[in-house]
Structure 1
Amino acid sequence: MLNSFSLEGKVAFITGAGRGIGATIAEGWAACGAHVACFDIDGEAAERTARTLRALDVKAIAIEGDVADPLSVGEAVDRTVRELGGPHIALNNAGIAHQSPAEDLEPADWRRMIEVNLNGVFFCAQAQARVMMRNGGGSIVNLASMSGRIVNRGLAQAHYNTAKAGVVHLTRCLAVEWARHGVRVNSLSPGYTMTPMTARPEVAGARAEWESQTPMGRMVRAEELVGPAVFLASGASSASTGTDLVADCGFTCW
């Protein structure tokens, strides 16, 4: 049964692979045997991740591009097919974060949030699924957030929360449409996660507050998202599609 968690020989396409959660899951998938296309708007960061993965004795390429640009996404998936094959599995992780009171939120900030965090997930999943359908199936994991289910206390981010809620429901819609083609689509929703962004000294006060509001008394570690991501990508979750898997140290229980 444990073999069902293997990603040996699979080709993965990961967005936002240059740093943070995307880079961590890329390394985790590679450790399970996957070859990886690292897609990021920061080409140098993507290449750093790819070098790390190649040291694990898998193939890895870096591709610079913007998830909000369907042409860029399509070209990246085509390059992945040419150089690595597949993709058989995908993680749509790229995203941005921003805070603003709703009454002061600039239209440009609203549009950019939706373009990257929601439209970008759709454009990537669409391009990935077209290839997977031709090849008999695959597994797509969309990175959502517990903020797609709740309104975060003390954070004015209606645009972010709305986009993440959209990712959760988009995942269900795509799962239903593509099930007959053998393409599974699930989402992974982290809670407050320790990344370079949340580890900055200036947010130490916020971190302490988040931890005090969490049953487990701490934030999620990025490496703790690897197991759920491997599960959703692998044959271990072969009966799961349209699922939103929450990993939040219990935050949404209260």
Structure 2
Amino acid sequence: MPKQNFTLDGLFSVKGLDVAITGAGTGIGLYMAKGFATNGANVHIIGRRQAKLEEAKAILLELNPDAQVHIHAADISSRDAVTALAASLTKLDVLINCAGIVIPDPPCTHLTPLPELQAALLGSPSSTWSNTFSTNLEAPFFLSVSVLHLLAKSPPGGRIINISGIGSIMSDPNTSQPAYQLSKAALNHLTRVMASKFRDLGIRVNAISPGYFPSQMQDPNNPKGYLARAKELVPLKRGGEKEDIAGTAIWLASRAGSYVNGSVINLGGGREWA
């Protein structure tokens, strides 16, 4: 009979796991990197800006001087960069696809008069859609596929965690980000597609759909922003905190979350629809 371990160290341990996180230089990606580095994982932080990654590494080592932190400067929207990144890794247990972009579109709401509404929506340029889907959907797919051989070798089974967004599961007519919201909705279904496709490899694929967290996309200093208004919008009366996203990612990466597959976890404090 296999040994059972119900201790917190056993259930939620990520010690010694190699965890790669894209978009880890700032925001939600950095919050998750803090959680994994503090708890003994070998963390590979990935991003476009070398300087930001250096700053992030310093922060992680300050939290845990013994942490193993590896920097990979790469633009994952480039297929060649993804190939090179995958070749630079020799061991991987967990891949977290967190890098994403949102490009503002002309503002409009459900109360905007028809002529202005139509003009605003048609004012979304094709480059917004192609760039958004390239980074938010294509990049996670091709990076995940490129490291399959490493994830398949992970003793406890490889794990992929896609970071989606609350706009993927709810429709707020006051937002003006159709390309972003639809790219994240597509990422949710990509999660299910990959979970189905990779199941015989022992690789689990799940997504986290965060609500309002401090980040480059959610400026806490903007009094009109969703994060500042979280107390009125979110049933739990607050925005998300660093520990909320880090804890959820650690749960999915650890033994505690090993029976979860093909799921999209709503991490929005109870807010699910407009």
TM-score (norm 1): 0.92
Residues 4-45 of structure 1: per-residue CA shift (max 9 Å, x gap):
210111101110010000011001011121101111011111
What amino acid is aligned across from residue 52 of structure 1 in structure 2? I
Larger Rg: 2
The correspondence for 2:37, drawn from 11, 16, 30, is 30
- Residue 186 of structure 2: SS of its match in structure 1? helix
The correspondence for 1:113, drawn from 132, 135, 150, is 132
Q: Match for residue 103 of structure 1?
A: 122
Aligned length: 249
Q: Match for residue 191 of structure 1?
A: 211
How many angstroms apart in 1 are the aligned matches of 2:204 and 2:195? 6
Conservation of the 8 A alpha-carbon contact between 1:213 and 1:251: yes
The correspondence for 2:96, drawn from 91, 97, 102, is 91
Q: Match for residue 144 of structure 2?
A: 125
5 Å-filtered alignment, 1:1-254, equals: 1=6, 2=8, 3-55=10-62, 56=64, 57-81=66-90, 86-100=91-105, 101-135=120-154, 137-195=157-215, 197-199=217-219, 201=221, 203-207=222-226, 208-252=228-272
Deviates more, 1:60-69 or 1:48-57: 48-57
- Residue 98 of structure 1: SS of its match in structure 2? coil
Conservation of the 8 A alpha-carbon contact between 1:37 and 1:80: no
What amino acid is aligned across from residue 216 of structure 1 in structure 2? L
4+ runs of 1 displaced by more than 6 Å? none
Unaligned residue ranges in structure 2 (runs of 5+): 1-5, 106-119
What amino acid is aligned across from residue 58 of structure 1 in structure 2? A
Judged with a 3 Å threshold, the aligned counterparts in structure 2 of structure 1 residues 172 and 147 are, in CA distance, closer, same or farther, namely same
Alpha-carbon deviation of 1:213? 1.9
Deviates more, 1:167-176 or 1:100-109: 100-109
Unaligned residue ranges in structure 1 (runs of 5+): none
How many angstroms apart in 2 are the aligned matches of 1:193 and 1:152? 17
- Residue 68 of structure 1: SS of its match in structure 2? coil
Alpha-carbon deviation of 1:195? 2.6
Deviates more, 1:45-54 or 1:105-114: 45-54
What amino acid is aligned across from residue 20 of structure 1 in structure 2? G
Residues 74-113 of structure 1: per-residue CA shift (max 9 Å, x gap):
22232232xxxx2111111001112214311111111000
How many angstroms apart in 2 are the aligned matches of 1:211 and 1:105? 31
Alpha-carbon deviation of 1:210? 4.3
